Amino acid sequence: MLFRVNGKFPANMDFPIDILKQRAPDCNGAVAFEGASGYNGSMMARPRSQLLRSRRIVLLIVPILLLAAVLAGRYFSSRKTVTEVPSSFRDQTLSEAQEVQVNINPGDFCAAVLERGGMDGHEAARLIADVRPVYDLAKIRSGQVLTLFFEKGLLRNLVYPIDRDSFLEAWRGSGGGFRGRVAAVSYDVRRETVRIRIENSLYEATLASGEMMELFEPLSRMFEYDVDFNRDIQPGDMVSAVLEKKYLNGRLAAYGDILAAELLNHGKSIRVVRYPSPGGGMGYYHPDGRSTRRMFLRCPLPFVRVTSRYGRRRHPILGYSRQHNGTDFAAPYGTPVRATASGVVSGRGRDGGRGNYVTIRHANGFASHYYHLNRFAGGLRVGLRVEQGQVIGTIGSTGLSTGPHLHYGLLKNGRYLNPLRLQSPSVAPLPKEKIVEFQTYCHLVFTPILRPQANPLPANIPINAGSLPLEAGNVRDPR
């Protein structure tokens, strides 16, 4: 129904266009207003534009309202309110709960992993928030496995391995919320002796010995200041170590500290013992109290092959002879490259010859160069201080290079040195007042290694020599 005010329609009225067209259409399709003196078809422009704007607004608002309704429906339909978990639920053992293991993939975030494992989205958000004061689940790493335990459709427990020695355990509290703690893995730690006979390389010998390969790197690092495992090893050399082995459910799961080790290299015995350093922390020392650590590592790579030595040579790409001011080490792409001494990064960049390169300034006028890198370590920049052994990049073949390798150069007061012939100075030894106690400990800790065997030692067979003879009330264990 149409209303008139003093014989006219109100100017601000939204008109029902279809009704008006049915009421009085003219020959041009315009609308004439009955009894509306002074109005004609041209006067419809203003209300028509207002109606079109109104329709556009409606078309914009309606989808938003529909989307909000759908989301609200999902929220209220899937939301689970738990005010009190039944005592029977809490008293059940984990073996009676439904166990779900979820692999964490690259790019995953915790809420998605929990939902993939069967948790409700709101429950997952609550779990993450509740345990954040104990451990931030945003730090989960790909390759790990999240273990969930369900009872009556609700998450009861969660277990996440933070690292090899600790894990997060979360559980549902009596009020429906979650609690958590970080706990140590309950390993059965045993002190044992391992002997490895070397025929070609320490890497191959460790692999053939039946030991886990993670033993190779810490074992080789104990001797890296005294022996070049790429050049000095002879067939028949022997490595023996007293170490901690960590067992879980009766199976070897990890290694602990290497307490002492001996390398018989071409008939020469090199012994190293782990012992507290005067300045704090732990260090490695020879039985006479000298530190094994030197100012420079013998090599910036854990295991390599020398492909080009220091001196004059014919360049493999340029084709003419010139001085080679460094040593080239071949290694697979991605092999970590370590700083051979502590210092400050003085150069980081890329050019046509050196490729990706890093230069480090050290104390006493020394500097080291690392060329042809594939990648730089994250955060590496000029002016950054790096420590000896810190990874600064990875092996590549950038610049003038015929394959993946590292060019390692060393300078003293601006003059190049042969890195393989450097006589690196040692760091401070143990104080004299500590020597007697230290040597007594050395005698005890090396006893399993020096104990004569009844039968000849088969090649590459690890030997279990039992616990260390460290009795209570005797010399203290320095760990």
Fold of 305-421: Glucose Permease (Domain IIA) (2.70.70)
Fold of 188-293+429-450: Nuclear Transport Factor 2; Chain: A, (3.10.450)
Among 223, 202, 230, 271, which Cα is nearest to 420's? 230
- Identify the H or E element spanning 328: strand 327-330
Q: Is 226 helix (H, G, I), strand (E, B) or coil?
A: coil
CA 163 – CA 465 distance, rounded (Å): 29
Q: Which are the contacts of 254, defined by CB distance < 8 A and separation ≥ 6? A: 164, 165, 187, 212, 214, 245, 246
Which DSSP state fits 474? Answer: S
Q: Which are the contacts of 387, defined by CB distance < 8 A and separation ≥ 6? A: 339, 342
Tokens representing 376?
């730089």
Q: What is the mean pLDDT of each run of 10 residues along the chain (479 residues)?
A: 39 36 38 38 50 65 69 44 33 66 90 90 91 92 90 89 90 87 91 91 88 89 81 87 92 92 91 89 91 86 73 62 80 91 94 91 93 93 94 91 89 88 79 92 90 42 34 30
- Distances in Å between the alpha carbon of 24 and those of 21, 31, 44? 6, 6, 13
Which DSSP state fits 317? Answer: T
Residue 131: per-residue pLDDT: 92
Q: Would you call 134 exposed, middle or buried from its count of C-beta atoms within 10 A (0-12, 13-18, 19+)?
A: middle
Q: Is 105 helix (H, G, I), strand (E, B) or coil?
A: coil
Crossing angle for the helix pair 45-78 and 121-131, to the nearest 10 degrees: 70
Phi-psi region of 311 (alpha: psi -120 to 50; beta: other; left: phi over 0): left
Fold of 87-184: Nuclear Transport Factor 2; Chain: A, (3.10.450)
Domain ranges of the chain: 1-78, 87-184, 188-293+429-450, 305-421
Cβ proximity of 464 and 192 under 8 Å: yes
Tokens representing 348?
């980081």
Tokens representing 182?
């970080």
CA 432 – CA 428 distance, rounded (Å): 11
- pTM exceeds 0.85 for this model: no
Residue 239: per-residue pLDDT: 94
- Distances in Å between the alpha carbon of 80 and those of 70, 74, 88, 114, 404? 18, 12, 19, 16, 57
Alpha helices in 7-141 (DSSP H): 17-23, 45-78, 87-91, 110-116, 121-131
Quick check: do 87-184 and 188-293+429-450 share a fold?
yes
* HEC letters along 244-311: EEEEECCEEEEEEEEEEEEEEECCEEEEEEEEECCCCCEEEECCCCCECCECCCCCCCCCCEEEECCE
